[in-house]
Structure 1
Amino acid sequence: MAKWGEGDPRWIVEERPDATNVNNWHWTEKNACAWSQEKIKELFLNLVIEGDGVKCTVTEVEKCEGEAVANNRKGKLIFFYEWNIVLKWVADTNSDEKIEGKINIPNLSEENDVSEVDIVVTLKDSTDEGEKIKHFLHTKGKDTIRTKLKQYVSSLKEEFSKGMILPKKDSVKDNIKNITSGFNVKMQMNSVVTTNNKSPGCKISTTTIKQQQKFQCRAEEFYNVFTSVEMVQAFTKGLAKVDAKKSGKFELFGGNIQGDFVELSPTKIIQNWRCNQWPSGHYSEVILDINEKNDHTEVNLTQTGVPVSEEDSTKENWERYYWDPIKRTFGFGYFM
């Protein structure tokens, strides 16, 4: 998952309070990243793990990378979190031998029950006594670690459930000017200065991008995400123009992404699509094949005509500014 605030500035538009809960959908999000990092450090730093004559102390939270988001979808609270945690530990021994190592927790996320989260214990130096301590941590010590992980998840849900349910229909119009997206970090568009000497008549080297995504929704619901201005504004967090008809135009992310619709059906959307920083007049073709399965909808993206120099950033930005926000905003990435 991408870190919040590290996106390509050409795709980012400043958060708009008037587009957060348009048309009475009532979606809100809260960024829980900074809070989570502090909470994880609070739970694990100086934690003592002991038993069977062994006593170990966590001396440092060496790594705590990832993100956490609390999401309100039409009154239903959904929490997304994904963390890679590395802890340093030292064991108390009766000898002069210093035994230390690390505890790696690479996959703490809402997709895994805490009982299924991987916990890997390693030694800095392998000795007979060290192996005994490692075995203790690997067996009984994991229970203490899992207890702390459960406390984090419980605290996250308790802390970020506060104030997530927004006003109902009758009070939205009166309060909409005071509604914010809930993120503590404000996304702002950084100015991008580019020099572009290319004209539409110049030959541009292009490539094709293909991606596949799975969404927990019906095909029609996904189709609406791209064709309903209210839903587009919800996941892009800004004003958007969407004229969902053949030759109808669209503008997203403050006009940084624009184009028009070539074909529209519940199973396929074709767009002429460009980023504002591309050579003047140059468009790619975006084809979204929407296939409803028994328990999810599979979407295949084919984008032709992408400037070669923009291939990597365009791939990343589909993930960062389309797929991930769509799953979070509407709960389409949440599997019960």
Structure 2
Amino acid sequence: MAKWGEGDPRWIVEERPDAVNVNNWHWTEKNASRWSKDKLKELLGKLKIDEPGIGVLEITDITSIEGEAVANNRKGKLIFFYEWNIKADWKGLLNGKSEDLAVKGSIEIPNLSEENDASEIDVNVSLRTGEGSIDGDVFKEIMRNKGTQLIREQMATYIRLLREDFAKDLILPTKGSTANQPKSESNRVILNKSDCNGTVASALKPVKTDQKIEMRSLELSEKMKCRADEFYRVLTTPELVTAFCQGPIELEPNVGGKFKFFDGNVEGIFLKLEEPKLIMQKWRFKTWPSGHYSTVTINIDEKDDHTLVTIKQTDIPSNDFDRTERGWKNFYIEAIKRTFGFGAMLY
């Protein structure tokens, strides 16, 4: 029992505007589902990517938002539950093309929840039109890379606003305080659904252990209607690389020199240059695990009526093999043939 003149703060009614939930002791709950749906539509509906030298990609419709969100206050601590599956449509239009030639696709965000950081949110990208076409592959890659980054940023904004804006009136004013006084981060707790037995989830994120990545190799051969030195220059001259990449690039054409193509999505270092017959590189997608490079060897063999180009690549993460192979075919081989008139049938 409390001593005279003291007392348990749970039972003291202070001078406060509502005279309820003294010192924020009792569990209070506020449904955030409707607010969340409106906010998610607002944030995703603004997504638009203007890619210099290529075209414009934008979200056209939020087709489905399924899930729920709840904010709670217990003993002055804010606890959040939210779980959403979001689907949306997008379109991409190359510069100079009419609207009826736009590439159309969809995205799905299956795991927006309090159990994942915004950086861990998955964004699944698919095409509805343009599958297998150069236009389709271009915009799908833009959405998978730059689009995913922007979507994660918008989801981080949603999480922040849920905590700071929507839940601001859950911490009620006590004597000598104001309702709008911000709470410290120590009072913001994310509770996993699996921890609903009354204990608060640890604020520490689980340590991710290194996993062995399965590797694959590929080899492509192509007949080019050009001389060997012409093809060599296409891959080592900044102006020519810019032409077939259709956008800004970075290129240092010397051994040890670095390169970045396709808005930085492809990057690497030159290991060996033997004009006009050999180019060897360390090569990677920027989405690959940090520090992991494949090795690319491009042999250029001039024949009587054509030049045979053979591309060999080792140490490709197996889950990215198909994208890598399509990239070589669509964004290198086909783009070079189309840009410089080196066209020929597959060898």
Normalised-by-shorter TM-score class: 0.3 to 0.5
**Greater RCO structure (CA 8 Å; 6+ sep):** 1
Structure 2-normalised TM-score? 0.43
Structure 1-normalised TM-score? 0.44
